[in-house]
């Protein structure tokens, strides 16, 4: 298949994600997101892409979680999508920064009430002695906020600002199509890579 390497990679990503939304049975917007831990090990988990544009890729999380602590100590991150139904991969590397309060509010208040309460109840990545403790915390916050929880200060978005985006599409006999866009002086330069 031919892909347009002159296209802006964000536009190309948008068109691949649109295709994945049709073919992928679950979570086309799920991506692995890697940070670097204080001992230099990579640290990776899945998150959901909730917004993207030419400034970067945004997901939302607890700002006291392990990933957030790692981002605070080392702002370099990486992400990777794999759309099995399309046999395609997209990966990106860059610096990670907090989304704006407005972006975090916009997304937080678009979520169902249960998820908004859940954000309060979860001390994400901390030790939990029992499931009952978590459910008790949910009840407490339901009683405290009823149906109007504000956005917790410890919950919001992060944006990965890509300096490099690579696309991979499955080809016959492992002769996959692979190309990389790199930011050079605020412009995207593209190259093909051997698969
Ligand atoms: C498909 C999928 C999507 C997920 N999306 C998110 C997300 O958007 N935000 C989030 O904080 N955790 C999400 N999680 C949970 C994370 O993978 C992870 O368990 C959690 O964020 C704690 O990670 P940490 O301890 O490295 O901070 C998701 C998990 C899966 C399997």
Looking at the fold, whether 175 and 129 belong to one and the same domain comes out as no
Looking at the fold, whether 93 and 34 belong to one and the same domain comes out as yes
List the domain range (segments joined by +) for residue 176: 9-109+153-192
Summarised one tens digit per residue, pLDDT across range 16-33 is 999 999 999 999 999 999
Question: Is residue 1 scored above 70 in pLDDT?
Answer: no
Tell me the mean pLDDT in the region 52-76.
98
Summarised one tens digit per residue, pLDDT across range 81-95 is 999 999 999 999 999
Q: Indicate which atom in ligand 1 lies nearest the CA of residue 65.
A: 27
Torsion of CA 52, 163, 17, 33, to 10 degrees: -80
Which CATH number is 97's domain given?
A: 2.30.110.10
**What is the distance between the alpha carbons of residues 16 and 88, in angstroms, rounded to a whole number?**
9
Is residue 80, in this structure, part of any structural domain at all?
A: yes
* Known active-site residue 91: no
Is residue 48, in this structure, part of any structural domain at all?
A: yes
Tell me the mean pLDDT in the region 123-143.
98
Q: How far is the CA of 67 from the centre of ligand 1 (A)?
A: 9
Selecting among 66, 91, 174, 192, the annotated active-site residue is: 174
pTM to 2 decimal places = 0.96
Looking at the fold, whether 20 and 98 belong to one and the same domain comes out as yes
Ligand 1: residues whose CB is within 6 Å?
27, 30, 45-48, 59-61, 65-67, 124-125
Residue 167 neighbours by CB distance under 10 Å: 22
Looking at the fold, whether 104 and 125 belong to one and the same domain comes out as no
**What is the distance between the alpha carbons of residues 60 and 155, in angstroms, rounded to a whole number?**
7
Q: Indicate which atom in ligand 1 lies nearest the CA of residue 59.
A: 8
Give the chain's domain count. 2
Looking at the fold, whether 146 and 167 belong to one and the same domain comes out as no
Looking at the fold, whether 161 and 98 belong to one and the same domain comes out as yes
Summarised one tens digit per residue, pLDDT across range 29-60 is 999 999 999 999 999 999 999 999 999 999 99
Looking at the fold, whether 75 and 137 belong to one and the same domain comes out as no
């Amino acid at each position: 298949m031919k892909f347009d390497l002159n296209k802006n990679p964000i536009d190309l990503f948008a068109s691949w994600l649109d295709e994945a939304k049709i073919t992928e049975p679950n979570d086309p917007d799920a991506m692995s997101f890697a940070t670097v831990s204080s001992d230099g090990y990579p640290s990776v988990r899945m998150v959901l892409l909730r917004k993207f544009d030419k400034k970067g890729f945004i997901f939302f999380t607890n700002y006291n979680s392990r990933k957030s602590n790692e981002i605070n100590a080392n702002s370099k991150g990486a992400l990777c999508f794999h759309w099995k139904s399309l046999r395609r991969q997209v990966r990106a590397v860059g610096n990670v920064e907090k989304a704006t309060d407005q972006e975090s509010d916009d997304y937080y208040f678009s979520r169902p009430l249960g998820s908004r309460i859940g954000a309060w109840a979860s001390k994400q990545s901390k030790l939990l002695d029992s499931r009952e403790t978590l459910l008790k915390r949910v009840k407490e916050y339901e009683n405290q906020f009823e149906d109007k929880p504000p956005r917790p200060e410890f919950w919001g978005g992060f944006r990965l600002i890509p300096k490099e985006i690579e696309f991979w599409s499955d080809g016959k006999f492992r002769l996959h199509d692979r190309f990389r866009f790199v930011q050079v002086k605020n412009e995207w330069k593209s190259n093909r890579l051997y698969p």
